[in-house]
Amino acid sequence: MISPWKARIHDWDEPSVINDKRCDRFLKYEYNHFGMSIPYRLFLPDPPPGKNGKIPLVLLLHGADVTGIDNELHIRAHDIGGIYAGSDFADTPVAVLAPQYRDGASWTKKGMMAALEALIYKTVSDHLRIDSERICALGYSAGGIGAMKLMKRRPNLFYRALIMCAATKGEDLDALKNTPIWLFHAEDDNIVPCRGTGTGRMYDHLGSADIYEALHEDMGDDIHFTMYEKGELSEKYRVNPHCVWVPVAKDIKALKWLIGE
């Protein structure tokens, strides 16, 4: 299942069969917030034998390549969508909340920000197994941009954040210091540059390298940055340099860091 935009990009990643099976385990819902309808998927894992404690919640925000109202593409198009439903997390279960925004919308609009907050609080309230102190953000591309906007809007909302191939405006940057962050970006990403260009569509935007340089002195070990060298994604993973979610989906250490394991 591939969006028309994605289908035109020959070097984009393709989802695996196992990801489809993982995504089959996600429940399907729709949330209405003051007239705004948001399709979303929710993964609630079975507790491991003998373990019935609280579990973290990961808010998964997708990129602009999988917009729509089908409530499918945003988790199935890339393996990162169903990663927490895989066997690597059988002993460390994680709930996943994965909303989808429609064509022409954006995570960063004020109404959408308010709707996301309300959906998070509703999910935590409805499911007592979820640990309200471990709400985590996982976003790539437009989803990473949206996650950081939400982190600025609600500095104490998230336990940790894993942000891929994203950018943010320079305003209110200090608000990000409240949340431990791990940034991932390719040096040769030509869709969302690793460093802000100061001109064109990235005007007044900071890429992952800029964000790390601006915050690491104050944040210390609470901020990490993994930069893939020029040519690494195309040569090693055979994908467009923007697609850093491909290696991140294989980085179990980073994915477990996000949930505090």
Domain boundaries, the chain: 4-258
- DSSP code per residue over 149-186: HHHHHSTTS-S-EEEES-EEESTTGGGGGGS-EEEEEE
Ramachandran quadrant class, 179 (left: phi over 0; alpha: psi -120 to 50; beta: rest): beta
pLDDT of residue 207: 94
pLDDT(212) > 90: yes
Predicted local distance difference test score (pLDDT) of residue 197? 58
Q: Is 96 helix (H, G, I), strand (E, B) or coil?
A: strand
What pLDDT sits at residue 19? 95
pLDDT of res. 2 = 44
pLDDT band per the 50, 70, 90 thresholds, residue 196: confident
Give the least confident one: 87-96, 192-201, 243-252: 192-201
| pLDDT confidence of residue 200 | 40
Q: How many CB atoms lie within 10 A of CB 35?
A: 6
Share above pLDDT 70 across residues of the chain, in percent, rounded to a whole number = 91
Strand segments, DSSP code E, in 7-140 are: 27-33, 36-43, 55-61, 95-99, 130-140
* Residue 238 predicted with pLDDT over 60: yes
* pLDDT over 90 percentage in the chain: 85
Q: According to the model, what pLDDT value does residue 171 have?
A: 87
Nearest-10 crossing angle of helices 110-126, 142-153:
80
Please state which architecture CATH assigns to domain 4-258.
3-Layer(aba) Sandwich (3.40)
Residue 201: partners with Cβ closer than 8 Å, 6 or more residues away: none
Mean pLDDT of 232-250: 96
The more confidently predicted of residues 55 and 203 is 55
For residue 72, give both structure tokens: 């499918």
Taking residues 136-140, report their average pLDDT.
98
User: In the prediction, which pLDDT does 203 show?
Assistant: 47
Q: Is the pTM of this model over 0.75?
A: yes
Q: What is the pLDDT of residues 6-37, one digit of tens each?
A: 444 568 899 999 999 999 999 999 999 999 99
